[in-house]
Amino acid sequence: SYELTQPASVSVSPGQTASLVCSGDKLGDKYVSWFQQKPGQSPVLVIYQDTKRPSGIPERFSGSNSGNTASLTISGTQAMDEADYYCQAWDSISALFGGGTHLTVL
């Protein structure tokens, strides 16, 4: 079965660039979404269809997808960006989520 793999944790210093990755076989052939989830809150869509930002999502969030890896990049990371981030794609008819990456801003 198809799987999306994410590192469990990533750390970044405030103001620096955070790069979160999601890997899967030929993932570049699929569209990827990214969700941000803070403790006790619902997930929030931050990137869809690889590179698009929903209204209200800051420009510092950007996405890419090629080969076997999709990436979420947060430029000028702020303390408020500390959260869990999940990638998601469709495999045939099923929606799949990665295991999530906890981003620590310190």
Partner 1 sequence: QVQLQESGPGLVKPSETLYLTCSVSGGSIRTYYWNWIRQPPGKGLEWIGYISFSGTTNYNPSLKSRVNISLDTSKNQFSLKLSSVTAADTAVYYCARGTPGETAMVTGGYFDYWGQGTLVTVSS
- The residues of the shown chain that bind partner 1, judged by CB under 8 A, are 31, 33, 35, 42-45, 48-49, 54, 86, 88, 90, 92-100
Q: Which is nearer to partner 1, 3 or 25 (CB)?
A: 3
Q: Which is nearer to partner 1, 17 or 25 (CB)?
A: 25
CB of 94 to partner 1, least distance (A): 6
Q: Which two tokens stand for residue 86?
A: 């999940």
Q: Which is nearer to partner 1, 28 or 99 (CB)?
A: 99
Fill in the amino acid letter for 106. L
CB of 92 to partner 1, least distance (A): 7
Q: Which is nearer to partner 1, 65 or 77 (CB)?
A: 65
Q: Tell me the Cα Rg of the chain.
A: 13
CB of 101 to partner 1, least distance (A): 10
Q: Are 98 and 6 in contact (CB under 8 A)?
A: yes
Q: Are 87 and 32 in contact (CB under 8 A)?
A: yes
Backbone torsion region of residue 15, taken as left when φ is above 0, otherwise alpha when ψ lies between -120 and 50, otherwise beta: left
